[in-house]
Amino acid sequence: MALHCNIAKNDFQEGLNSLQNLTNKKGTMAVLSNVLIESAPGGLILTGTDLEVGLRLFVPAEVKEEGSITLPSKKIYEIVRESGSETLSIEETDNSWVVIRTGLSTYNLAGLASDEFPEFPQYSEDSFLSFESHIFLELIEKIIYSIANEQENIYSLTSVLFEKEKRDDKYYLKMISSDGHRLSIMEKDVATDLDGMNLNEVTLIPKKGIQEWKKFCEGRDNIEVSFEEKQLVLRDGDAVMVIRLKQGEFPQYSAIVEAVQLENCLRINRIPFLESLKRINLFTEDIFNTIQLKIENSEMILSSQNADLGNAEDKQAISYSGEPLVLGFNCRYFIEALQVMECETVEAYINSNNSPCLMKSEEDIGFISIIMPMQL
């Protein structure tokens, strides 16, 4: 049957917008650049996938004739976005072509048959647990910046390690990310009983999946979550996201944390420190963003130099009573960690001139950032 429907612009645009990051990628399967549109009672089901993450959602519409088709995701979104009318009409004609009418405008758009579109992954209904969305937003926002990029070719580090834990009759969810030069850990206690959450021995969620998980949570009060052996399923009513899990190992991050002795501590106001780092970063070399930190008594001297531009120096007041230290670090790593923290005062632990820096605070409960030093 040929699809024919009327749909409100705002509803259609919102649904298509949610799918844009999963489509529009050039690849060997042209249909993956399309959105699957299927009729359903009272509306349409929209589906997009890049084979790593899939999203299916419902939008209300007046369905005149049942049917299904795939249309170029970016182009149909642009048509809807630029529409000057509050409603659109979509009517399938011959050979997967559709006529789109909106206000005084008419578009003829070529699609592809719906049977060319990958089948949406099957999932079990038995193991969903309900959570407040802000829990995952807080977890993700604290660790997303230190996930390795794909081009770095460290397979397991392009994913986030997801764990659950029970301590003192309380349940915790934890996310850990690292790019080999820094490590971010965030945990939150949850009211949900996690005994029914079936995690793998090593549960790795790809970076793209983490990014889309964050977007799925935004604007939602609660979501349902289910972990299966090879996939993670997120659900809110008629909206379902399936994320394919990665296979592999993850570094023993607990050993890295334990290697930093929590004795030699300096305290510094976060915002002035962050602003100082941004100033010093103006004169770092683009590749490594190396800066020097000279720490002694109640002062930290930050310095950087650039072979083509010159050098810069900035001083910050600190609270410190340990031995003098001189270390090199990637300035950008400090900036990105401090930007996700919310505290007034940062506690930084550094054992020696060659040791990593561990940052945390009493206000950023559950968060730890570890940054490896660089040779000066």
Interval 195-237: pLDDT, tens: 999 999 999 999 999 999 999 999 999 999 999 999 999 999 9
Task: Please give the pLDDT value at position 154.
Answer: 63
Mean pLDDT of 257-261: 90
Distance CA 113, CA 70 (A): 6
Higher pLDDT, 314 or 29: 314
Task: Please give the pLDDT value at position 223.
Answer: 98
Supply the pTM of this predicted model. Answer: 0.94
Mean pLDDT of 119-146: 97
Asked whether the predicted pLDDT for residue 283 surpasses 80, the reply is yes
**Contacts with 5 (C-beta within 8 Å, 6 or more apart), sequence order:** 39, 44, 61, 62, 63, 64, 65, 89, 90
Can you tell me which residue has the tokens 């979104």? 77
Q: Which of 263, 276, 268 is nearest to 345 (CA)?
A: 268
Beta bridge partners of 357: 350, 371
- Identify residue 312 by its one-letter amino acid code: A
Hey, what domains does the chain have and what are their CATH numbers? Answer: 4-116 (3.10.150.10), 129-253 (3.10.150.10), 260-371 (3.10.150.10)
As given in the structure block, the two tokens for residue 270 are: 């976060």
Q: What is the pLDDT of residues 320-334, one digit of tens each?
A: 989 999 999 999 999
Higher pLDDT, 161 or 26: 161
Asked whether the predicted pLDDT for residue 155 surpasses 70, the reply is no
- Binning pLDDT at 50, 70 and 90, where does residue 26 land? confident
Task: Please give the pLDDT value at position 152.
Answer: 60
H/E element holding 53? strand 53-60
- Binning pLDDT at 50, 70 and 90, where does residue 286 land? confident
Residue 125: burial class (beta carbons within 10 Å; 0-12, 13-18, 19+): exposed
Task: Please give the pLDDT value at position 106.
Answer: 97
Collapsing DSSP to helix, strand or coil, 224 comes out as: strand
> What percent of the chain is modeled with pLDDT above 90?
91
Task: Please give the pLDDT value at position 335.
Answer: 98
- Identify residue 69 by its one-letter amino acid code: I
Q: What is the pLDDT of residues 60-94, one digit of tens each?
A: 999 999 999 999 999 999 999 999 999 999 999 99
- Binning pLDDT at 50, 70 and 90, where does residue 151 land? low
Asked whether the predicted pLDDT for residue 153 surpasses 60, the reply is no
Asked whether the predicted pLDDT for residue 27 surpasses 80, the reply is no
